[in-house]
Structure 1
Amino acid sequence: MTISPTKKLAGAALAAGVIVALTGCGSAPAPASSSGGAKPADSSFKPCIVSDDGGWNDRSFNQSAKEGLDKITKELAIKATELQSDSADQYGPNLEQLVSSGCTYIITVGFNLSADTIKSAKANPKINYAIIDDLADGDQDGKPDAPNIKPLLFDTVQAAYLGGYAAASWSHEKGVDKVGTFGGLQIPPVTIFMDGFVQGVKKFNEDKKADVQAIGWDVEKQNGSMTGGFAANDTAKQTAQSILDQGVDVVLPVGGPIYQSAAAAIKAQGKDTLMMGVDSDLAVADSSVADITLVSIQKNIGEAVYAAVKDAAAGKIDTTPYVGTLENKGVGLSSFHDFESKLPKGLTDELKKLQDEIISGSLKVTSVSSPKA
C-alpha cells in the first residue's frame, strides 16, 4: 500500500513513496518533465552544498539532499561543489571554502548548520543560501536572520502520525502491543518524528479501544531515549537494545545512520521485530535492511533541493520558506513493500482516511517542533 505516488530521483538509489508538488508555503516549481528538461543556467551560476556530520552516505537526509542537487545539475549540465562535514567543527570552514570557490547558491543540510549558515549569509549578502530543516531564525523573531536564506522545512509530524498508527496496528495484530522509538540528537527535526509517532499510536488506541504502549519518548515532557549523535556506534546500538529489551516489536530510530545500529540489535536478538525508516524510503536506500523495515516516514528533501536550485538557476530567487506537508506531498509514507500483503485488514483504508482528514484540517496534527513559517 502506498499513501502517495512514487517518483524516483534520476540516478539515485532512493525511490520515494511521495513527491513534492512544491506548492503551499513558498514558491517552488514542480520538477521538470522528462520531455522538457530544465532551463539552462546562467554561466556564472554555481550551486554548492555542505553536509552535516552524518555524511553523504547516511541513507537519509544528507544523501537525499545531494541526490536532489545531483539530479538538477545533471539536467543543467553544470558542476556543483559538494563538501562533506565529518564533524561539527568543519561546518564553518566548509562554508568559507565554498564562498572562496565562487559558489553563488549554497545549500546547507540540517538544523546543526544554522548558526554557521546565518553567519556566512550575513557576511556574503550577494550569495544566496538554502537551509534544510531550519528557519535560520537565531533571534527567534519568526523569520530568517538574513534575507538571502531560503528555509526548506517539513512538517514531518503529519507523516509520522500515520507511521505511528501503522506501527500500533501491526503490533496489536501480533498481540504484542508495544512499539518504541529513540533518536540521535534532541533537536526539532528529530523530535518532530517522535511526537508524531507517539500521537499516531495514541490515535490507534482511541479508535480501536486498544492499549498499545509507545516506549522511548514522552510528548508532554519532550524527553526520551537519545544516542547523543547520529553515528552508528556502540552507544546507538545500546540505546536501540534498551528499547528492544522492553518487548517492542516495532522500533523507530530517528537520526540518519543510527538505523544501522537498530538493525544490528534487531538481527542479533533473532526475533520478528521490525523497524521503520525516516527521511528516505529505507527499504530502497539500503536493501540490506529491507526485510526488517515495515515502512518509512519520508520527507522529500531531494525534490525540494531540486526545485530550489532549478529556480535559482533560472534567476528566480524566492526566499519564502517552503514547508513540506501531506497536502503538497512534501512528506508521507513510503510503500510497505514486502509487508504490503501482511498488513492488518483495513489498515490501508484507515491510513488513507487519516491522511485525508489531516489534509482537510478536520484532524489537527501538530508538534511543538512543527515549522513556524
Structure 2
Amino acid sequence: MLGIATLVAGCASAPEEDGEAGGEKLDFLPCMVSDAGGFDDKSFNQLGFEGLQAAAEELGVEYKEVESQAETDYASNINGLVDQGCNAIVSVGFLLAPAALEAAQANPDIDFISIDDPIDQDGDGETDAENIKPIIFDTAQAAFLAGYLSAGVTKTGAVGTFGGANIPTVSIFMDGFKQGVDHYNEENGTQVKVLGWDGTDGSFTGGFEANDTARQIAQGLIDQNIDVLLPVGGPIYQSAAAAIEDSGREIALIGVDADVFETDPSVGPLLLTSIRKGMDVGVHEAIVEAGNGEFDPTPFIGTLENEGVGLAPFHDWESKVPAELADKLDELRQAIIDGDIAVESYLAG
C-alpha cells in the first residue's frame, strides 16, 4: 500500500556459535557506531543495527557495535573499532561524517559504510574516499506524500513538524512534508498551514533525545491547534506522543525512518503513517558484499522508484483515511517516479 518501502535495510555480546562460509570460517568482522540517539531509539539507529545483525548472521560471523553518548564520542568510537580489527565499519548518521572520513583516509584497507551522508566534504559531487559507501535517502519524496495525506485528513487546517537539529538529513523530511501540503492546497483551493518549518528554519530541539525540550516544542505546536504532527529525529517522537496523549485531543502522529507502529506499538494508536527509509537492507547488503570481498563504494540513493523510501501502512488510522485520498497518494507516487512532479531536496538531481 502507498509505496511502502520493501527494503528491509559499550559492545554487545557476539553470537556464541561461529558460522561457516563455503565450509570455512569467514575471517571478517563487521562493526557499527551509533549516533547519540543510541541503538534502542526504535527508529534510525535501531534500523541500521538490525541490518548489521542480519548481515552477520548470513555471513556466519561475529560483529561489534559501540553506542555513542554524545557527539564528542564519534571519533574515538570509530578509532576504537579500527583498533579492534574491524574490516567494515558502519557510521550511523550525518554527524559522524567528519570522523568517518578521517578514519577512512587513514585506513584505506577498511571498508566504511556511511548512513545518511555522502561524505562529500569538499562539495565536488564525489565521495571523498574510495573506501566509503554512502547509503542515503531522498526522503523528501515520501515526506511529500505524508504532507499531502496530512493536509487531506486535518480537521483544524493546521499541521506541524519539528526536528532534532537543522541539518540536511532532518530538514529533508520537513521540506518534503511542506511541499506536499502546499501541493494539496494548490489542487484543492485550501489553506492548510504548516507550523514548525518555513522552508528554511523552524522548530528544533538541538539534539536527538526524548526530553522536556522536545515535549515543550510539541506542546507549543499543539497549542496552535495542529492535529497532525511530524517529529523528525529518532526518539523525539516519544516526547511528541506524550504531549499528544496529555492533550486529550485526536492528533495524528507521523513516524520517521522505521515503521514506528511496528517498532514501538505503545504509540501505535496515534500513528497516521511513518515515512520509511530502507536502512536495514541497505546496511545488510553492503556488509554482505564487503564480507564476500565484493565491496562496492557506489552510493545508494533511496527513492520512491527503487523503494528505498516510502510510506508505511495506515494501520489503526486506515478507516479514517478516505479511499479517494489513498488512491490520490498512489497517483502522486507514480507522478513523482515519472518526473511529472518534482520534489525539491538537496539530493534531487
Which residue number in structure 1 is paired with residue 186 of structure 2? Answer: 206
Correspondence 1:4-153 to 2 at 5 A: 4=3, 17-20=4-7, 43-153=26-136
- Maintained 8 Å contact 1:323/1:371: no
- Maintained 8 Å contact 1:21/1:329: no
RMSD across aligned positions (CA): 1.7
Question: Which string of whole-angstrom CA distances, capped at 9 and with x for unpartnered residues, describes residues 244-274 of structure 1?
Answer: 1110000100000100110011111111111
Correspondence 1:257-272 to 2 at 5 A: 257-272=235-250
Which residue number in structure 2 is paired with residue 351 of structure 1? Answer: 329
- Maintained 8 Å contact 2:29/2:86: yes
Correspondence 1:353-368 to 2 at 5 A: 353-367=331-345
Correspondence 1:240-279 to 2 at 5 A: 240-279=218-257
- Maintained 8 Å contact 1:180/1:215: yes
**CA distance in structure 2 between the aligned counterparts of 1:123 and 1:323, rounded to whole angstroms:** 26
**CA distance in structure 2 between the aligned counterparts of 1:348 and 1:97, rounded to whole angstroms:** 48
SS of 1:91's partner is: helix
Q: Does 1:190 align with 2:170?
A: yes
Q: Please give the TM-score of this superposition, normalised by the length of structure 2.
A: 0.94
Partner amino acid, structure 2, of 1:46 = L
Seen in structure 2, the aligned counterparts of structure 1 residues 72 and 21 have a Cα distance that, compared at 3 Å, is closer
The Cα shift of 1:344 comes to 2.3
SS of 1:136's partner is: coil
Seen in structure 2, the aligned counterparts of structure 1 residues 21 and 338 have a Cα distance that, compared at 3 Å, is closer
Seen in structure 2, the aligned counterparts of structure 1 residues 41 and 203 have a Cα distance that, compared at 3 Å, is farther
Correspondence 1:298-317 to 2 at 5 A: 298-317=276-295
Question: Which string of whole-angstrom CA distances, capped at 9 and with x for unpartnered residues, describes residues 9-35 of structure 1?
Answer: xxxxxxxx412399xxxxxxxxxxxxx
Selected match of 2:206 from 218, 222, 228: 228
- Maintained 8 Å contact 1:156/1:370: no
Structure 1 gaps of 5+ residues are 5-16, 23-37
SS of 2:231's partner is: strand
Which residue number in structure 1 is paired with residue 298 of structure 2? Answer: 320
Partner amino acid, structure 1, of 2:329 = L
**CA distance in structure 1 between the aligned counterparts of 2:246 and 2:81, rounded to whole angstroms:** 43
Partner amino acid, structure 2, of 1:106 = I
SS of 2:319's partner is: helix
SS of 1:73's partner is: helix
Selected match of 1:155 from 130, 138, 143: 138
The Cα shift of 1:43 comes to 2.1
Instruction: Give the number of equivalent residue pairs.
Output: 339
Seen in structure 2, the aligned counterparts of structure 1 residues 224 and 40 have a Cα distance that, compared at 3 Å, is farther
Seen in structure 2, the aligned counterparts of structure 1 residues 179 and 93 have a Cα distance that, compared at 3 Å, is same
Question: Which string of whole-angstrom CA distances, capped at 9 and with x for unpartnered residues, describes residues 255-310 of structure 1?
Answer: 00100110011111111111100000011110000011110001110010011111
Question: Which string of whole-angstrom CA distances, capped at 9 and with x for unpartnered residues, describes residues 27-67 of structure 1?
Answer: xxxxxxxxxxx978972211100000000011111000000
Selected match of 1:164 from 140, 147, 151: 147
Which residue number in structure 1 is paired with residue 272 of structure 2? Answer: 294
**CA distance in structure 1 between the aligned counterparts of 2:160 and 2:278, rounded to whole angstroms:** 24
SS of 2:206's partner is: coil
SS of 1:218's partner is: coil
Identity %: 48
